[in-house]
Amino acid sequence: MGTYNVTPATALDYRRLAEKRLPRFLFDYIDGGAGEEISMAANEKDFLRFSLKQRVMCDVGDIDTSTKLHGQAVSMPLALAPVGLAGMMGRRGEVQGARAAEAAGIPFTTSTVGICPVEEVQAAVRQPVWFQLYMLRDRGLVKALLERAQAAGCETLVFTVDLAVVGMRHRDTRNGMMGGGLAGSLAKAWQIATRPRWIIDVGIKGKPHDFGNLREVVEDSRDLDAFKAYIDTQFDPTVTWKDIAWLRTLWKGQILIKGVMSADDASAAADVGADGVIVSNHGGRQLEGVASSISKLPEVVAAVGERVEVHMDGGVRSGTDVVKAVAMGARSVMIGRPWVWAMAARGERGLVDLLEVFRQDTAIAMALMGVTRVSEISRDLIEM
């Protein structure tokens, strides 16, 4: 039986299906990283440096994977990370992601540069979604986006701080994702033409294909090149922690700082009023050569774990990865690529199924480690 005819079970199964379904430039946008993609690969590989301790003859008849994140009850220590352009990977992809997350009982984070505006995403679910934002040069726009998100019902802000400049993403250049002139346009057209299912489901039925949160400020937010030109002028390399302090005065809910990779930065985030930090190297898409997220997690936990909630993003592909991160001090992990792969391959149903696999895998790992509650997962259960 061929690879694509079997029932997908793991995140990598869905990756293979997504690769078959998506135009190449879209698949590589999700799948690729910065430079030679060494840091991206390390995010996954470094989980192999840590082993779980197996314990037997324990009463594990009542496993409970649930926990709380910033006061919100969740079914497991997992949240869906913000992913730009998700609505190009599946029909109204951000909405599908939010619905699947709600069905699974975990948070969904919608991106500033998503296809669906925050109002559309929030209207599709009952639970408040998390809203991700960058610090843009136009502080008036930042303030307006915060007001929109709060008006829509969002209570948690995920603020990304590791995008002062955009990393070198060679796959996007090769496939004509951004720019490339006539050759790039022809390359994208050919890639789209070879994916008829995507054309019908997303290209036709998934309109409008603009950046919903920014359609009022980008002259043609449906044009990727025009949007890139606008965004390139808006990422602000002058941002400091003083700007985050200003942000704290505007946002009344929880603020999580995403992109923290050192004890010093974690402490600075806590000092300016953050409620949590997310240890993340942007999925290996920014600084090539930086350490993996999982390898920096203990340092951050030691620095601020008693002051704020510490989460981790990058390289998580299974429930055992979730357990390893929690054992090393994370309150939860975030997944980006896996949820988009599943949604692109099998839609909302596929993502619900994948999240259930994550939950079951987490529960099984806990049982075989001799613990029944997330709070019992500790550093003592990790071997190096």
Please return the burial class of 181, using the count of CB atoms within 10 Å of its CB with bins 0-12, 13-18 and 19+. Answer: exposed
Place of tokens 């929030």: 122
Q: How many CB atoms lie within 10 A of CB 95?
A: 24
The contacts of residue 173 (CB under 8 Å, 6+ apart) are 179, 180
Tell me if residue 282 is catalytic.
yes
CB distance 118 to 131 below 8 Å:
yes
Tokens representing residue 95 in the block: 């909405």
* Of 248, 202, 259, residue with least CA distance to 86: 202
CA–CA–CA angle 206, 94, 319 (5° rounding):
130
CB 128 within 8 A of CB 155: yes
Cβ atoms < 10 Å from Cβ of 360: 14
H or E element in which residue 185 lies: helix 181-193
Cα–Cα distance for residue pair 368/359, rounded to 1 Å: 14
Q: What share of the chain is helix, strand, coil (3-state, %, to 5)?
A: 50, 15, 40
CA 39 from centre of chain: 16
Catalytically annotated residue among 70, 209, 282, 311: 282
101, 100, 52: which is closest to 78 by C-alpha?
101
Largest distance between two CA atoms of the chain: 66
Contacts of 130 (CB under 8 A, 6+ apart): 79, 82, 107, 108, 109, 110, 154, 156, 157, 158, 256
Locate 335 and state its tokens: 């997944």
Active-site positions read 282
